[in-house]
Chain A
Amino acid sequence: MNKTQYEVIANRHKAVENKFSNSIISFFSGGLVGLLGEGIIEILCNYYSYARDDASTIMIVFFIFIGSFFTALGFFDNLVSIFKCGLLIPITGFAHSMTSSAMDYRKEGLIYGIGSNMFKLAGNVILYGIISAWFFGTIRYLIGGLT
């Protein structure tokens, strides 16, 4: 069988992905999550007299809880299939990846199950998040000094 001939035929029967509509949905759903986050910060600052930094920490904790809680109840994955990556890119997606991994391996025990596998997907974000923070922090230091 000839590989080039096969590629030509196979390309004729390729599934069409709805990349454009998926991007639009993700753009708006992700934006909605951001808007909700800003709303929470504003409420905490204006009605409960929180400092802005504290309010954003509480907002993040709230979204982590929501992401994990909905995953545990078993419907966060259904929400992702509707709202696409708009729910995976924010901190909700990070919480979702950790909770889903922990849930999958809970039957294998606290150490070999949850402990060894909880960071299976989230480990990437943590590792490369730290590396890029160090990298960009260094650039920031070299350009602007400590101030």
Chain B
Amino acid sequence: MTFHFQNVYIEETSTVCGPYEKQGPLRRYFDQCYDDLSIGEDSWEKSEIRLVRDAIDILFRKTETSKEKVDVVVGGDLLNQITASTYGIDCGKSFVGVYGACSTCVLELILSSCLIDSHHINNALCVVSSHNMSSEKQFRYPTEYGIPRKNSSTFTATGGACALLSHSKSGVRIDCATLGKMIDMGQNDPNDMGRVMAPSVIDTITKHFKETGRKVTDYDLILTGDLGLYGQEIVKDYLRSYSDIYLDDSYQDCGVLLYDLKKQKNIKAGGSGPVCSALVVYSYIYSLMKRKKLKRVLFLATGALFSPTMIHQGNNIKSICHAISLEAI
């Protein structure tokens, strides 16, 4: 399931982050940073909605276009009924809501690219968000509850990120994409998502190289979404042991890049959440590609399709990974 695109470009991006991401090494690449997790709102859900609105406003300010000129807005987040997207997005001629857990960002890019490349629409706005506290409240424990966290657990990133895709030539082109399938490897520990999601990366990356005929060396950078410290090692080790794909230093993980894991001890194994990879790719990576420091990047966003209800009913956590290849022009 690999598609090649001829005429789709990332025209502009915008990123807004929370206090923990601000303390990380990529701070200077973000458009706006908040010092307080509340983002000036009185509930965590409203805080996330505000992040979405801010990211959209910044993007339109940067592109100097009006909100009505966007054909399709594709949005997604972690909250039930994708609340942050449905309440935060107030622009565009039409809206598509998607859910792919932490792989949402690439899923949005792929769907938008298909619509643009087939000339059904001229442009699309991809919006993604997550908030550490709103996710904790929904998926784990009350936010003030001080449950000790395992070293393998990941930390949901706080932020909102947007990318405007169109026909207009810009510095970064969307080259091709591979849609992944849901994988169940019998994993059921919500405190070790890297281990849950690593199999889907292995499956999608193998499929991508097979269907495109490309090799690791064809990419300057291979980037996974939010596997964290342990998940990325599993991927490297498995591929080295059971395939001919050898991932070297050109392989990185967004969850590890977003934070300074040595100083920020509470992050544990790394960042996660739909916005985690988007914050890294739409700011740092996009800027490197525009400056031609990176020519071609393979971005594999990973998602754990985790439902607390199904876990309590004794089921496993499925995972998914979608890949997109970005090219600097």
A2–chain B nearest beta-carbon distance, Å: 8
For A84, give the chain B residue with the smallest CB separation.
B148
CB atoms of B183 and A74 under 8 A apart: no
Q: Residue A81 contacts which of B146, B151, B183 (CB distance < 8 angstroms)?
A: B146
Against B, the Cβ 8 Å flags (1 = close, 0 = not) of A10-26 are 10111111100010000
Q: Considering only CB atoms and an 8 Å cut-off, how many residues of chain B contact the other chain?
A: 33
Determine whether the beta carbon of B141 is less than 8 Å from that of A13.
no
Checking B151, B186, B199, B234 against A17 with a beta-carbon cut-off of 8 angstroms, the contacting residue is B151
Fill in one digit per residue for B262-300: 1 if any A CB lies within 8 Å of its CB, else 0: 000010010000000000000000000000000000000
Q: Check A96–B141 contact: CB distance below 8 A.
A: no
Q: Which B residues are in CB contact (< 8 Å) with A81?
A: 146, 148, 266
Measured CA separation A6–B269 after assembly (Å): 20
Q: Which residues of A contact B (CB under 8 A)?
A: 1, 3, 5-6, 9-10, 12-18, 22, 71, 74, 76-81, 84-85, 87-88, 96-97, 99-101, 103-105, 107, 120-121
Contact B42 A80 (CB under 8 A): no
A-B contact pairs, 15 of them (CB 8 A): A5-B241, A5-B242, A15-B150, A15-B192, A15-B229, A77-B146, A80-B147, A81-B148, A81-B266, A96-B144, A97-B142, A101-B142, A103-B142, A104-B143, A121-B142
Question: Is the contact region of chain A dominated by helix, strand, or loop, or is it mixed?
Answer: helix
CA distance A5 to B229 in the complex (A): 20
Which residues of A have CB within 8 Å of B81? none
Query: Are B146 and A76 in touch, CB under 8 angstroms?
Result: yes
Judging by beta carbons under 8 Å apart, are A100 and B145 in contact? Answer: yes
Do A121 and B146 contact each other (CB < 8 Å), given the known contacts A1-B185, A13-B230?
Answer: no
**Most chain B Cβ neighbours within 10 Å, of A13, A107, A121:** A13
Known: A81-B146, A96-B144, A100-B145. 10 other contacts (CB 8 A): A3-B185, A9-B238, A10-B198, A15-B269, A77-B146, A80-B148, A85-B148, A96-B145, A101-B142, A101-B145
| With contact pairs A1-B185, A9-B234, A15-B230 given, residues A100 and B43 touching in the complex (Cβ less than 8 Å) | no
Whether B129 sits at the interface, judged by CB under 8 Å, is: no
Q: With a CB–CB cut-off of 8 A, which chain A residues contact B242?
A: 5
Using Cβ atoms and an 8 Å threshold, which residues of chain B touch A88?
146-147
Question: Judging by beta carbons under 8 Å apart, are A97 and B234 in contact?
Answer: no
Contact of B144 with A13 in the complex, beta carbons under 8 Å: no
A15–B148 Cα distance when bound, in Å, is 15
Distance (Å) between the CB of A112 and the closest chain B CB?
14
Chain B residue at minimal CB-CB distance from A99: B144
B45's nearest neighbour on chain A, judged by CB, is A107
Partner of B142, one of A10, A16, A100: A100
Q: A78 near B146 (CB under 8 angstroms)? A: yes
The answer to whether B202 and A13 have CB atoms under 8 Å apart is no
